[in-house]
Amino acid sequence: MKIYNTLRDFGREFSNNLKYSNRRLKNSGFNLRERLNVYSGMVGGVLAPVFLTRYGAFEVASTSIKEEAFKWAFSLPTLIFSPFGLVAGAALGTSSAMTNRLVRERKERNQKLENLVGNFKSE
């Protein structure tokens, strides 16, 4: 029961943090695609150490399920580096999202200018 309560509390805290982050990104002017860039960067940053250890430290081909399970089990302790990966992934995702936002805003601004110029030409 204690584990269940701990997991439930962790889930609630994670959900609240995600809602706060989403609200903060929305208020900063990011659209859904740009917010997904940030979140995918975070997920990639958390999982990268595990996959890099699994496929970097061991050969790719496994001969048995037992051997494959051992390799993944050996790779899982690298999750201790997840906070660093999370921050790095968030930084990369935010950088990508900001670039996309600047391009989107530039296109919107150019479209408004074209509409404005088109209105003057038609008069």
Instruction: State the DSSP code for 28.
Output: T
Distance of CA 111 to the CA centre of its chain: 30
**What pTM value is reported for the model?**
0.72
Contact 77, 5 (CB under 8 A): no
> What is the residue extent of each domain of the chain?
32-122
Which pLDDT tens digits describe the chain residue by residue (123 residues)? 677 677 777 778 877 878 888 888 888 889 999 999 999 999 999 888 888 888 888 777 777 888 888 888 888 888 888 888 888 998 999 999 999 999 999 999 999 998 888 777 766
